[in-house]
Amino acid sequence: MKKRIAILTGGGDCPGLNAVIRAVSKKAMFEYGMEVLGVEDGYEGLVENRFRKLENSHVSGILTLGGTILGTSNKADPYRWAVSKDGKTEDRSKEVFQNIQKMDIDCLVCVGGDGTLAVAQKLFNDGVPVVCVPKTIDNDLYGTDITFGFDSAVAVATEGIDRLHTTAQSHHRVMIIEVMGRNAGWIALYAGVAGGGDIILIPEIPYDLEKIVQKVEERGKTGKRFSIVVAAEGARPVGGKVVIKKIVKDSPEPVRLGGVSFILADQIEQKAGLETRAVVLGHLQRGGSPTAFDRVLATRLGTKAVDMIVRQEFGFMAGVRCNSLVSVPLAEVAKGSKSVPLDYPLIQSARAVGTCFGD
């Protein structure tokens, strides 16, 4: 019998999503003669029965496009479906099972980060054949060395740092650039090193304000009257807490981080006596065309997912380990957020060239 699969993209948007949709669809159609359905707006479309058939013409020419042609939602969770903005939820997973049976779907391909994959694991445990592809600019998923979208986000952040260098140097200022990453410092670390950041602040290493000020002053004494600080949105002081921008009660992940750069800017300006400015890159890191690396990685992971479907490796995620593609149990992926290890080689390399981590 001809297999019919469905693919959805959940959580935040990310460069490379369309490349995965293209890879899964084309390989499924061309090599195995499968029928491919697209689920609109992630799990929201799965609950509301919004499917559309994907033809080759729909997925051609989308490799370089940012975003996702299927749409996405970072609030929809069939098991905790928001019914009001004050946080009340209800379980609508039964509707998902009914819709999957109605559409005669043999496998559901879920492309997303930890939230999307956590729901996918629940669906699998309840009997839905699921195969997953890891997506997040934060690179914080267990089970894979790297996720597509990360390289693109680092490229944008690095360009931002490069541009801040010239204005910081011209005006003799301290410039703080705040990048995404939630509670993991991967983007800040890689972009900070690539952009020559003088100070890199990541959640894994709580910072001491005095050490930051000391670094800025030391640079001034050697004739360098400017400094670049790269701060992860989840950076926090020793003994302190992260800065929360807002709480979204009707979201499975209600806490939104942001604003640590503005607090730091005021503190550094007062203590060091240097004009300090803060720039928050925000969603610029999510948008635009994926890098060549992410296009290739997304294509590799997408085609790997189809092979997993054929082998009936349900309940697994396609991942990367030591540059080889592997199948990873969703139970392993659900361990939590993958942080930057304190002995990570890039941290050691950064320290070796004089980078301060605020400790």
Query: What is the average pLDDT value for the chain, to the nearest integer?
Result: 92
Q: Could you give the residue numbers annotated as active site?
A: 138
Residue 274: CATH number of its domain: 3.40.50.460
In a domain, 173, yes or no: yes
181/270 same-domain check: yes
pLDDT band, very low/low/confident/very high, at 43 (cuts 50, 70, 90): very high
Opening angle at CA 111, ends 143 and 245, nearest 5: 85
**Nearest CA to 319 among 333, 331, 340?**
333
User: Rounded to an integer, what distance in angstroms lies between the CA atom of residue 124 and that of residue 330?
Assistant: 9
pLDDT of residue 335: 79
User: Rounded to an integer, what distance in angstroms lies between the CA atom of residue 243 and that of residue 130?
Assistant: 36
Count other C-beta atoms under 10 Å from residue 91's C-beta. Answer: 11
280/292 same-domain check: no
pLDDT of residue 1: 53
133/205 same-domain check: no
229/294 same-domain check: no
In a domain, 256, yes or no: yes
248/298 same-domain check: no
Residue 264 has pLDDT above 90, yes or no: yes
* Percentage of the chain modeled with pLDDT above 90: 78
- HEC profile of 40-103: CCCHHHHHCCCEEEECHHHHCCCCCCCCCCCCCCCCCCCCCEECCCCCCEECCHHHHHHHHHHC
DSSP-based three-state secondary structure for 25: helix
In a domain, 301, yes or no: yes
pLDDT of residue 173: 87
In a domain, 359, yes or no: no
pLDDT of residue 68: 95
pLDDT of residue 253: 72
Model confidence pLDDT, tens digit, residues 69-82: 999 988 889 999 88
210/183 same-domain check: yes
Task: Name the region of 332 (left: φ>0; alpha: ψ -120 to 50; beta: rest).
Answer: alpha
Residues in the chain: 359
In a domain, 51, yes or no: yes
Mean pLDDT of 120-142: 95
**Predicted TM-score of the model (pTM):** 0.92
**Nearest CA to 116 among 41, 200, 194?**
41
Amino acid at 52: R
**Nearest CA to 74 among 18, 113, 132, 128?**
113
pLDDT band, very low/low/confident/very high, at 91 (cuts 50, 70, 90): very high
Residue 170 has pLDDT above 90, yes or no: no
86/187 same-domain check: no
pLDDT of residue 250: 66
* Residues spanned by the domain of 44: 4-148+288-333
233/310 same-domain check: no
Task: Name the region of 30 (left: φ>0; alpha: ψ -120 to 50; beta: rest).
Answer: alpha
Count other C-beta atoms under 10 Å from residue 300's C-beta. Answer: 18
Mean pLDDT of 98-113: 95
Place of tokens 């065309």: 289
In a domain, 358, yes or no: no
Q: Which two tokens stand for residue 36?
A: 């491919």
**Nearest CA to 237 among 218, 217, 263?**
263
Q: Rounded to whole angstroms, what are the CA distances from 305 to 95, 166, 323? A: 25, 44, 16
User: Rounded to an integer, what distance in angstroms lies between the CA atom of residue 294 and that of residue 286?
Assistant: 13
In a domain, 46, yes or no: yes
pLDDT band, very low/low/confident/very high, at 141 (cuts 50, 70, 90): very high
Distant-in-sequence contacts of 212-216, Cβ < 8 A, 24+ apart: 212/264, 212/268, 212/356, 212/358, 213/268, 213/271, 213/272, 215/356, 216/174, 216/268, 216/272, 216/274
The strand pair at 51-54 and 35-39 is best described as antiparallel
pLDDT of residue 334: 82
Structural domains counted in the chain: 2
31/120 same-domain check: yes
Q: Which two tokens stand for residue 104?
A: 């005669």
Q: Are 131 and 314 in contact (CB under 8 A)?
A: yes
Residue 310: CATH number of its domain: 3.40.50.450
Model confidence pLDDT, tens digit, residues 55-64: 999 999 999 9
Place of tokens 């499924």: 28
82/226 same-domain check: no
Mean pLDDT of 104-108: 95
Place of tokens 């369309």: 18
Model confidence pLDDT, tens digit, residues 234-253: 999 999 988 887 777 766 67
Model confidence pLDDT, tens digit, residues 216-231: 999 988 888 889 999 9
In a domain, 357, yes or no: no
14/120 same-domain check: yes
158/280 same-domain check: yes
Q: How far is CA 240 from the centre of its chain?
A: 25
